[in-house]
């Protein structure tokens, strides 16, 4: 019902926005049409959608002095409306982005199918659009699935809060996502866009009209990401339970804080760079038009000033999940907790001053090469701290090799490869050869898929009993972990070699000698893709029929495991009191939370 109202609002908003611009065009004696009414229509449609779907009822009424109406729905219907419960929003994010992940994964299969042969089977234009859509959808998954999904669900539970700091803003952040999806998926019908997810001008200023929808979609997505980051920071700084000092927070919470700082601040640069592209297209400005005195390199600077830090938005929460799982499943306190925190914060600081390592071959001034190379390689120091923490934790631990742990161990292996190969891309001398080859593709898939997505899987299995109240099938989970790990290596290891031999990224044809690597990688990719069918079957079936899980199936120490599975609407029957470090394994008498001794009457949480 709420969704129908949202759709009605979107249609009305689009019509209104389009009409206003068309009227203005008529008044000025210009021909009606072009990109401007579509842009304004899309923005109005997004506002209309939000108001219809619940923003008006729950929030905007207040701005006009009316009483807001906030109902707390129950049952499955609660997932399909403007709901302020962070647990509902977390599930909304997770399910949405699992679907997006599946869609983008299918596009990856199309890419690998095209690349089995050296010839162009699919056609260059179609391939470019498939590759671009795969890129941006996966970037969206990587940015939002862990932070928006698991971050939303787990952070308030882990710090003993009832909800996020701004529950309605949280709902708003989620409901901004559907317009993004609609815009991205309708773009192919107006010519699509073929610029890759990076959308470099001059191409992005002159190509088909789908690029305009891409720009609007990403600006909206950026807004969602900024508001989500804002909410997470405020929640972590302001909503912690009594006794939960910053240095007693579970490490995942620290990683969400660090990643949120980046998405709060740097996302504005992506929005700004795309808006400048839009202005060049529709308002006749000349930022990137060399003939008018502009400079396309400006785009790359603005874009990478966000988009390099963005990879830490992706990987930091992945590190957080990995450390979290490693410590619980090694039954040891997290090694060098402070070092890991320092590593996260060090990465945040350095992330803002390394962007130009993406531009060594772009033609920027040569004097910038060496400083950016050195700064980039400095990042291995805070990253090394995180690895130190991980390895020190499993060292002589009693490893409990359940599914989450298998994924977490895989992250260490994968990210080590992704990190080491990154050195060749940070070094100017080798990067000039490797730039825009499959070596880069393999490198960032090892860091983001091998790091973050494996960590996302670890997190999904780890918190699955908490979120659903049921247990997944352990055997199928382990099969997923082992299969995905092996197939992943088989896909991307050969691509490093293909890249060294000069296989270009983003191009659907290649020379005959590279065929062997590609056939191998494509077959392995289909095998990798198949495992997600098993995983999905396991997770969906178990949610409906799985064994009922107890409150703390892992016998873990952090706060989310002290409440029921799934937790009650306000998370805790009684405000928890934190008295010690988060991982007091093997320390006699030490506890993280003061045990609840006197059972209280429900609702007495004042």
Q: To the nearest whole angstrom, how small is the minimum distance from the Cβ of residue 146 to another protein?
A: 20
Closer by beta carbon to another protein, 359 or else 531: 359
Backbone angles phi and psi of 504, in degrees to 5: -80, 140
Supply 351's token pair.
Answer: 């992330």
**Shortest gap between Cβ of 63 and another protein (angstroms)?**
6
In the complex with another protein, the residue whose CB is nearer, 59 or 337, is: 59
* Choice between 168 and 402, CB closer to another protein: 168
Q: How far is the CB of 262 from another protein (least distance, A)?
A: 11
Instruction: Provide, rounded to whole angstroms, the least separation between the CB of residue 499 and another protein.
Output: 32
Q: How far is the CB of 171 from another protein (least distance, A)?
A: 11
Rounded Cα distance between 552 and 379, Å, is: 37
Please report, as ranges, the residues that interact with another protein according to CB under 8 A.
Answer: 58-59, 62-65, 68, 70, 84, 161-169, 226, 229-231, 233-234, 237-239, 264-269, 271-273, 276, 279, 283-287, 292-295, 298, 301-302, 305, 570, 605-606
Q: How far is the C-alpha of 92 from the C-alpha of 78, rounded, in Å?
A: 10
Cβ proximity to another protein: between 14 and 288 the closer is 288
Least distance CB 346 / another protein (angstroms): 20
3-class SS letters over 280-298: HHHCCCCCCCHHHCCCHHH
Distance CA 409, CA 6 (A): 43
- Determine the length of the chain: 606
The residue to which tokens 């009424």 are assigned: 61
C-beta of residue 164 within 8 angstroms of C-beta of residue 34: no
Would you say 44 or 485 has its CB closer to another protein? Answer: 44
CB atoms within 10 A of CB 61: 14
Q: Are 139 and 165 in contact (CB under 8 A)?
A: no
Of 262 and 325, nearer to another protein (C-beta) is 262
Q: Decide if 59 contacts 168 (C-beta within 8 A).
A: yes
- Phi and psi, residue 578, nearest 5°: -90, 130
Q: How many CB atoms lie within 10 A of CB 505?
A: 16
Q: Which is nearer to another protein, 285 or 552 (CB)?
A: 285
Instruction: Quote the Cα angle for 553-558-564, to 5°.
Output: 50
Helix H, strand E, coil C: the string for 588-603 is CCCCCECCCCCCCCCC
Instruction: Name the phi and psi angles at 470, rounded to 5.
Output: -130, 165
User: What is the rounded distance in angstroms from the CA atom of residue 227 to the CA atom of residue 208?
Assistant: 31
Residue 30, number of CB atoms within 10 A of its CB: 12
Nearer of residues 475 and 569 to another protein, judged by Cβ: 569
Cβ 264 to another protein, closest distance in Å? 5
User: Shortest distance, CB of residue 344 to another protein, whole angstroms?
Assistant: 18
Nearest Cα to 476, choosing from 530, 534, 411, 526? 534
Nearer to another protein, 62 or 474 (CB): 62
Three-state DSSP state, 353: coil
Q: Smallest gap, in angstroms, from Cβ of residue 204 to another protein? A: 16
Contact criterion met (CB below 8 Å) for 460 and 469:
no
Note the Cα 166 to chain centre separation in Å.
20
* Closest CB to another protein among residues 177, 226: 226
User: Token digits for 349?
Assistant: 């600081």
Locate 503 and state its tokens. 């296989």
Taking the complex as a whole, the smallest distance from the CB of residue 161 to another protein amounts, in Å, to 7
The nearest distance, CB 575 to another protein, in angstroms, is 8
- Of the pair 213, 261, the CB lying nearest another protein is at 261
């Amino acid at each position: 019902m709420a969704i129908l109202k949202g759709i009605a609002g979107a249609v009305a908003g689009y019509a209104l926005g389009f009409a206003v611009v068309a009227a203005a065009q008529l008044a000025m004696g210009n021909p009606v049409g072009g990109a401007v009414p579509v842009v304004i229509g899309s923005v109005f449609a997004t506002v209309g959608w939000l108001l219809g779907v619940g923003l008006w009822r729950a929030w905007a009424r207040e701005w006009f002095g009316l009483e807001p109406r906030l109902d707390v729905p129950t049952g499955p219907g609660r997932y399909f409306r403007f709901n302020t419960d962070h647990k509902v929003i977390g599930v909304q994010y997770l399910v949405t982005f699992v679907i997006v992940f599946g869609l983008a994964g299918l596009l990856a299969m199309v890419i690998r199918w095209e690349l089995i042969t050296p010839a162009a089977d699919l056609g260059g234009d179609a391939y470019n659009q498939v590759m671009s859509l795969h890129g941006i959808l996966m970037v969206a998954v990587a940015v939002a699935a862990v932070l928006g999904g698991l971050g939303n669900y787990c952070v308030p539970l882990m710090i003993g809060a009832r909800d996020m700091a701004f529950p309605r803003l949280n709902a708003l952040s989620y409901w901004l996502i559907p317009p993004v999806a609609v815009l991205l998926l309708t773009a192919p019908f107006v010519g699509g866009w073929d610029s890759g997810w990076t959308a470099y001008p001059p191409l992005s200023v002159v190509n088909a009209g789908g690029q305009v929808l891409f720009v609007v979609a990403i600006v909206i997505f950026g807004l969602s990401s900024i508001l989500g980051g804002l909410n997470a920071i405020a929640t972590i700084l302001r909503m912690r339970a009594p006794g939960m000092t910053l240095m007693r927070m579970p490490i995942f919470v620290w990683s969400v804080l660090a990643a949120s700082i980046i998405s709060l601040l740097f996302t504005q640069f992506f929005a700004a760079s795309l808006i400048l592209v839009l202005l060049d297209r529709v308002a006749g400005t000349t930022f990137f038009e060399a003939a008018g005195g502009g400079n396309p390199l400006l785009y790359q600077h603005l874009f990478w000033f966000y988009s390099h830090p963005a990879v830490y938005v992706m990987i930091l929460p992945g590190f957080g999940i990995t450390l979290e799982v490693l410590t619980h499943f090694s039954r040891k306190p997290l090694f060098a907790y402070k070092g890991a925190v320092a590593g996260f914060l060090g990465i945040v600081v350095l992330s803002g001053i390394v962007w130009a390592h993406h531009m060594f071959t772009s033609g920027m001034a040569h004097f910038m090469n060496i400083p950016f190379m050195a700064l980039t390689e400095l990042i291995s120091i805070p990253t090394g701290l995180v690895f130190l923490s991980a390895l020190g934790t499993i060292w002589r631990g009693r490893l409990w090799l359940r599914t989450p742990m298998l994924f977490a161990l895989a992250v260490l292996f994968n990210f080590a490869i992704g990190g080491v190969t990154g050195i060749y891309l940070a070094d100017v001398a080798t990067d000039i050869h490797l730039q825009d080859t499959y070596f880069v593709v393999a490198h960032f898939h090892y860091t983001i898929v091998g790091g973050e997505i494996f960590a996302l899987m670890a997190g999904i299995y780890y918190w699955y009993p908490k979120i659903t109240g049921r247990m997944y099938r352990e055997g199928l989970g382990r099969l997923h972990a082992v299969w995905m790990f092996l197939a992943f290596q088989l896909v991307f290891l050969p691509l490093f070699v293909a890249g060294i031999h000069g296989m270009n990224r983003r191009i659907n044809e290649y020379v005959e000698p590279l065929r062997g690597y590609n056939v191998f990688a494509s077959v392995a990719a289909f095998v990798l893709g198949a495992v997600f069918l098993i995983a999905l079957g396991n997770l969906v079936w178990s949610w409906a029929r799985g064994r009922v899980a107890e409150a703390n199936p892992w016998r873990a120490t952090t706060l989310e495991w002290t409440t029921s599975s799934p937790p009650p609407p306000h998370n805790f029957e009684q405000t928890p009191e934190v008295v010690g470090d988060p991982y007091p394994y093997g320390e006699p008498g030490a506890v993280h939370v003061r045990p609840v001794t006197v059972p209280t009457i429900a609702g007495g949480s004042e």
